[in-house]
Structure 1
């Protein structure tokens, strides 16, 4: 990847989009992870006002520390960057207290994890409305179009996606080039939605390097018959998630009424 040219291209794309949309800037949820760090850096480099938003919900201290380190670095380097912290922990707890069947179980845990993401999306759009800004998404290509590893109408609810055509390895490459803090570059990827230490790899069953490989293999038309051992296991994980999460990647189905019965 021609890293410098890719960075310049995304920054110009963001600037052009904001100018055409006649908005004042960008709002980015910053989690302490590599994707949000890269996205917020790219937005900052446009020169448009960029609001970095922390939204902890029972968040791991290490994630909070990394997010704050990154925001401090951005504010030190860019006078168009500001930040706000919205602690959603009490909001999340209030939600749990009023919905039915909130006793711990795998289905409840997953539903509540997705609820965290949707509370954050609501917060970002509230702030974007106040600042006449766009919500910039932080999903990469493997997450958004490979395995669908995001929450529908949560972190998937955005106005534009500047890094959604980058593989995870390219996210790291670009982040290193742009000087994202080492603590973030070295941290294990995690969505932080379950309030524990589980990583993305723990949830998915494969690393991003493995998922990238499987994505390329599928694009080449390979099938399960072409692999064995760990390769076969990873390919099955990827193809299963890609299949069951198509509802996230495809447009919302519309029941189109035939002309002859209107």
Structure 2
């Protein structure tokens, strides 16, 4: 199921950079703010934003973060600042904010739900922080989600890393993001690192949480778009397809517009 990207990296790179620049100019903003995680998605997104020549503010927001993730993020930012004079950075250590939050909300006997709720809280604290920086500097929050995460399995936090102003790489598969990352010469440490959302304060990977690799999920997404069903496959392929379908189904609430209760016209007239 290994997926090899077929995108024209140079053309895709320039297309996204032009799109970002034009969008920012029309919105009359100064540039972009991006949360840097030490992963390939944020590294590629920030490099794309940097190429616009507009202010690109990279924010580190550790919350009990694994040191390897922090180090990769710092390596990327330093490299980016050397390459682009319009890149700036700041650190907002949210660990104490997160710990204070935990003292102000009730605990739960359901450890699984508590653990997940706190993980999502980390993402939402980071979203709030990015919008704070965006507000004081006149910037747009650039999302770092790729196509598989955003529209395949919904692997992001609603109103957390899903809360953004624009999504530069959301039409690219994960394999495309890696291809673009290689072209953009992001640090080797990031290109080789196992993807992780970093929301649990440990070294667990995205694959640990999802039960399948991104290559496998890309395959399943394309098969699903071709109207295949689980009965078309056996063995690992069937398992992966079922994982994809389950995640795609339960996370539709993230991908679809917020439902609005429409009031009948006759009820609006007294």
Shift of 1:33: 0.3
Residue 64 of structure 2: aligned partner: 58
In structure 2, C-alpha distance between the alignment counterparts of 1:171 and 1:2, rounded to whole Å? 12
Residue 28 of structure 1 aligns to a residue whose secondary structure is strand
TM-score by length of 2: 0.96
> Equivalent of 2:159, from 153, 157, 163?
153
Distance 1:210-1:21 versus aligned 2 partners, 3 A rule: same
User: Please, what is the CA RMSD of the aligned residues?
Assistant: 0.8
Q: 186, 198, 202: which one pairs with 2:204?
A: 198
- Equivalent residue for 1:85? 91
Please, which of 97, 115, 120 is the counterpart of residue 103 of structure 2? 97
Q: Secondary structure at the match of 2:200?
A: coil
Q: 1:103 and 1:58, CA in 2 relative to 1: closer, same or farther beyond 3 A?
A: farther
Q: Which residue of structure 2 aligns with residue 68 of structure 1?
A: 74
What is the aligned partner in structure 1 of residue 223 from structure 2? 217
Moved over 6 A (4+): none
Structure 1 residue 25: Cα displacement? 0.7
> Per-residue deviation at 1:254?
0.4
Distance in structure 2 (CA, Å) of the matches to 1:197 and 1:252: 33
Q: Determine the structure 2 residue equivalent to 1:207.
A: 213
Q: Does 1:183 align with 2:189?
A: yes
Match of 1:125 among 108, 131, 138: 131
Deviation for aligned residue 1:104:
7.4
Distance in 2 between residues matched to 1:88 and 1:70, nearest whole Å:
20
The gaps in structure 1 that reach 5 residues or longer are: none
Q: How far 1:261 moved relative to its partner? A: 1.4
Q: TM-score, structure 1 length as denominator?
A: 0.99
Deviation at 1:103, TM superposition (A): 6.1
Whole-angstrom distance in 2 between the partners of 1:91 and 1:211: 35
> What's the secondary structure of 2:85's corresponding residue?
coil
Show the counterpart of 1:239.
245
1:29·1:36 contact (CA, 8 Å) conserved in 2? yes
For the pair 1:141 / 2:147, whether they are aligned, the reply is yes
Distance (whole Å) between structure 1 residues aligned to residue 115 and residue 61 of structure 2:
19
Aligned to 1:37: 43
1:19 to 5, 25, 40: 25
CA distance in 2, matches of 1:112, 1:101: 10
Q: Which segment drifts farther, 102-111 or 184-193? A: 102-111
- Check conservation: 1:27, 1:124, Cα contact below 8 A: yes
Number of equivalenced pairs: 262
Q: C-alpha distance in 2, partners of 1:244/1:65?
A: 34
Mapped partners of 2:38, 2:132: distance in 1: 21
Partners of 2:245 and 2:174 in 1: CA distance: 18
Match of 1:228 in 2: 234
In structure 1, the residue matched to 2:179 is 173
For structure 2, the 5+ residue unaligned runs are 1-6
